[in-house]
Amino acid sequence: MTPLATSAILLRRRDYGDYDLIVTFFTQSQGKVTLMAKAAKKSARRFAGVLELFSEVDIIATSGRRSGLPVLQEAALKHPFAQIRVLPTRIAYASYWSELVDVWMEDRVTQTELYRLLLHVLRELDQGVTSEAVLSVLFQMRLLRISGHSPNLKLCGICRKAVDAVRPNVLGVDVAKGGIACLGCLPPSPDGPHLSKGTIKQLQWIADGDLPRATRIRFSPVAISEALRFLESFVPYHLGRQPRSLGVLRQLRGSLP
Ligand SMILES: [Zn+2]
C-alpha cells in the first residue's frame, strides 16, 4: 500500500494494551479508516495533544505487518476544535454525530459531501454562535439525504394526501414507513414524534442548498423540539443501530420544551 496522506477527523479512539491506541478516522480521501497509533499512550511527545476526538488532523499512515492494521506514522493538528471539548453538551452532540458517521460508513469509501458537512458542524459547534440543536437538525437531515434515507415530508405515506391539504396542522410520523402520515391515518400517540406543517417546511429548507445559509435558518422552541424528537428516532432506525451517545446527549440536555 502506498502511504495514506490525507486530512482526517478523529471519530473514535480506544486503548490497545498499555502503550498503543486504535484510532478511527473519517479521512477526506478514503472515507473511514482505522489505524494503530503505536506508543501514543506511552510517550509524551508521540502525538502529544494531537489525537483528540473531533479534531481535524493531517495524517500519514503506512500498511502494518501482515494483516495488522495500518500504522499511523505522523499526525499534525489542522483544526483542534478545542472549544468543543470544554462543554459537556457540545461533546455529547459531537459524539452523537461522530457515532452516526461511524455506524453508517463503510471502510475506505470516500464521502466528500459528508466530510464537508461534519467539518462544517464541528466548526460551528466550536465557535458557539449557532445553537447546538439547529446544528444537529442540519447534520441529521443532510446525513439522511446523503445516505439515501431522506424522509418523505411531502404527503401522507398512507392516504397520499398532500401536506397542504391535510387538516389539522399537525402530522404524525410513521418512522418505519419513512415519513409523515396524517392523523386520520395514524392516530396521535402521546409519546410518538409529530411534526407541525411549519416545522416540516423548515426541515425541507435545511436539508438542501447552501450550507452557511441553511445554518442560519431560525427555529422556534416548539419547532426545534419537534425536529429533534423526530430525527433522533428516525435517523437511528434507518441507519440500523441505536447510538450509545444518544442516551448521554438526552440526559445532558434534559427534557425538550
Ligand atoms: Zn393519511
pLDDT digits (tens, 9 = 90+) for 93-110: 999 999 999 999 999 999
* Ligand 1 mean position, distance from CA 185 (Å): 4
Mean pLDDT over the full length of the chain: 94
Task: Read off the pLDDT of residues 178-201 as tens digits, 9 standing for 90 and up.
Answer: 999 999 999 888 888 999 999 999
Top-confidence residue, 229 or 190: 229
Ranges 43-52, 69-78, 149-158, 229-238: which has the least confidence: 43-52
* Ligand 1 mean position, distance from CA 171 (Å): 9
Query: Residue 192: its pLDDT value, please?
Result: 85
Q: What is the DSSP letter of 3?
A: P
Collapsed DSSP state (helix, strand, coil) of residue 113: helix
Q: What is the DSSP letter of 123?
A: H
* Ligand 1 mean position, distance from CA 155 (Å): 8
Query: Residue 44: its pLDDT value, please?
Result: 67
Query: Residue 257: its pLDDT value, please?
Result: 60
Give residue 49's Cα distance to chain centre: 24
Q: Please state the pTM of the whole predicted model.
A: 0.95
Query: Residue 67: its pLDDT value, please?
Result: 65
Burial 16-55 (b: 16+ CB within 10 A, else e): beeebbbbbbbbbebbbbebbbbebbeeeebbeebbbbbb
* Ligand 1 mean position, distance from CA 33 (Å): 44
* Ligand 1 mean position, distance from CA 242 (Å): 28
* Ligand 1 mean position, distance from CA 230 (Å): 18
Is 165 found in the same domain as 186? yes
Confidence of residue 42 (pLDDT cuts 50, 70, 90): confident
Enclosing domain of residue 30: 4-80
* Ligand 1 mean position, distance from CA 140 (Å): 25
Ranges 34-43, 109-118, 196-205: which has the least confidence: 34-43
* Ligand 1 mean position, distance from CA 252 (Å): 36
- What mean pLDDT do residues 154-161 have? 96
Ranges 59-63, 163-167, 189-193: which has the least confidence: 189-193
Is 76 found in the same domain as 178? no
Is 76 found in the same domain as 94? no
Domain final residue, candidates 28, 53, 80? 80
Domain final residue, candidates 62, 80, 98? 80
Query: Residue 43: its pLDDT value, please?
Result: 73
* Ligand 1 mean position, distance from CA 196 (Å): 15
Report the CATH number that the domain containing residue 20 is assigned in CATH. Answer: 2.40.50.140
* Ligand 1 mean position, distance from CA 158 (Å): 5
